[in-house]
Amino acid sequence: MGRRAKPNKVKAEAQRPVVGKSPTDEGGKVRDLEKRLAEALEQQTATSEILGVISSSPADVQPVFDAIVRSAVRLCGGMSGNVWRLRENALEMVASHNVDERLAAIAREAGQRRGLDRSLLAGRAILDRAVVNVPDVSRDPEYDPDLARHFSRGALSVPMLKDGAPIGAITVTRAVVGLFSERQIALLQTFANQAVIAIENVRLFNETKEALEQQTATSEILGVISQSPTDLQPVMNTVAENAARLCEAIDAQIFRIEGGLQVRVASYGSIPNVLSHATPPNRGLVTGRAILERRTIHVHDLAAEVDREYPDAKSVQQITGQRTTLATPLLREGEAIGVILIRRREVRPFTDQQIALLETFADQAVIAIENVRLFTELQEKNRALTQAHAQVTEALEQQTATAEILRVISASPTDINPVVNTVARTAARLCDAVDASIHRLDGARLRVVAHHGPIPLAQTVLDEGWPLDAGSVSQLGVGSTFTFTIPVRRAE
């Protein structure tokens, strides 16, 4: 008897119902995936937007900060946000979003007044070089209580780090209590990194631009020096203009030491020249101190120091309104031969780069002064050499002529004609004359014994001579312009 087939186990198992799955669960996963995809797309779009702003603003970081703080507040679920820069151990708010201007002013004042401390989340993030995530600032013992009364509850701050060193921070706040998520922290760190990229991009762009401007200015000054080897004024004018423009000063003045006095030789800018007369260098003036101490003098605020350090500059400062002042001496072999002065009407100290640039301009001014001096000395030496050469040549010609005449005399001991003819010819040549005659006294008359040159003599003069009187010179030749006459006495 045939056996009955056993049930198909595979089919039976396949028909068993799946436990734990439902249409609701599947829908939740899909919605969660869609949400994450939407967030990722939104983040990618914001990142692309910020990178676009960075590329379109190579010389200005402000549009980047504005775009970053807007995106940070929106994507991190915040209510407001700020971007802070670290400047000389103090915090400066450089961008904000959705912050009331009155509250922004309070925060700015706190950043400047308190300096870099833990009372602001940005300061804490910079000091710790780490993320600061506070669920409720009103309960935070370190947070500024004045700001806590005005601002939100939850707050997040991320430092901006360049090569591990903090240069600023981004802060996002919200109205509800609670910590920001890991995803929001990571997103804000991405924005902080983009801010650092933007800052570096602008710095490198400006440094390249400044280097090109400095190179162009240097080439321009050297060009003026080469075109004006004996005239210093065009060079000084060019140096003053470039110093004021590239150092962002309102004016530039160049002084030279002449006879122990500071004499202004070039001026560029809008500050009037109050002191028109020359003054001796003294430490009561910024320029005088730079000359006497042979070093660069940088005064951050002249108005605050005139009474104590620069009393002789007080009246000038009050008239011109100058504040930040920088002077660097013109040094030649360690000695000050002048000074360059640049000024600003606001208190804004010059940067180290601008100070170094002014010292470069001072060196170029010294090169120009030395170039003119050496060129002038060379010209004077050339003139002296030319004069000496002419004198030597003239003496040699005279010596040669004397030797020639003596040779003719020795060769013609009994005939005077070759001698006098040679003398007449040599006299005309060496005296740069067109014609020469030699006359001999014969009784009361002068008779021609030698003549050289194209001016004809009257036949009567040749035959008879002329009486020896005051009017006889006019009778020597027809139309003559020069006459060389040698009276020869007969030997007794």
The reply to whether 80 and 190 lie within a common domain is yes
Q: What is the reported pTM? A: 0.53
The reply to whether 462 and 358 lie within a common domain is no
> Number of structural domains, the chain?
3
What whole-number distance in Å separates Cα of residue 265 and Cα of residue 18?
98
Query: What CATH number has the domain bearing residue 235?
Result: 3.30.450.40
Q: What is the pLDDT of residues 33-52, one digit of tens each?
A: 656 666 666 666 667 777 77
What whole-number distance in Å separates Cα of residue 306 and Cα of residue 285?
9
Buried b (16+ CB within 10 A) or exposed e, 224-262: bbeebeeebeebbbbbbbbbbebbebbbbbbbbbeeeeb
Do the domain assignments include residue 381? no
Higher pLDDT among residues 128 and 388, named by residue: 128
pLDDT value of residue 168: 94
Q: What is the pLDDT of residues 401-447, one digit of tens each?
A: 888 888 888 888 888 888 888 888 888 888 888 888 888 877 878 88
What whole-number distance in Å separates Cα of residue 116 and Cα of residue 110?
10
pLDDT value of residue 161: 95
Q: What is the pLDDT of residues 238-278, one digit of tens each?
A: 999 999 999 999 999 999 999 999 999 999 998 877 666 78
Q: What is the DSSP letter of 282?
A: -
End-to-end C-alpha distance for the chain, whole angstroms: 192
| Chain position carrying tokens 């004006």 | 228
Percent of the chain, pLDDT > 90?
37
| Chain position carrying tokens 């070093």 | 295
What whole-number distance in Å separates Cα of residue 265 and Cα of residue 254?
6
| Chain position carrying tokens 């002014």 | 358
The reply to whether 55 and 98 lie within a common domain is yes
Taking CA atoms, 385 is separated from 45, 344, 388, in Å, by: 80, 51, 5
Domain that holds residue 247: 228-376
The reply to whether 85 and 153 lie within a common domain is yes
Asked if pLDDT for residue 3 goes beyond 80, the answer is: no
| Chain position carrying tokens 């240097």 | 218
pLDDT value of residue 415: 85
68-83 mean pLDDT = 91
**pLDDT class of 373 with cuts at 50, 70, 90:** confident
Q: What is the pLDDT of residues 130-188, one digit of tens each?
A: 999 999 988 898 888 777 776 668 999 999 999 999 999 999 999 899 999 999 999 99
**Sheet arrangement for strand 80-87:** 90-97, 80-87, 165-173, 155-162, 132-134
The reply to whether 327 and 460 lie within a common domain is no
Asked if pLDDT for residue 464 goes beyond 70, the answer is: yes
pLDDT value of residue 66: 93
| Chain position carrying tokens 């915040």 | 78
The reply to whether 318 and 465 lie within a common domain is no
The reply to whether 193 and 85 lie within a common domain is yes
pLDDT value of residue 5: 46
The reply to whether 189 and 261 lie within a common domain is no
Asked if pLDDT for residue 102 goes beyond 80, the answer is: no
pLDDT value of residue 465: 76
Tokens of 100: 């009331």
The reply to whether 137 and 51 lie within a common domain is yes
The reply to whether 232 and 176 lie within a common domain is no
Buried b (16+ CB within 10 A) or exposed e, 392-411: eeeeeeeeebeeebeebeee
**Sheet arrangement for strand 466-467:** 436-442, 445-452, 466-467
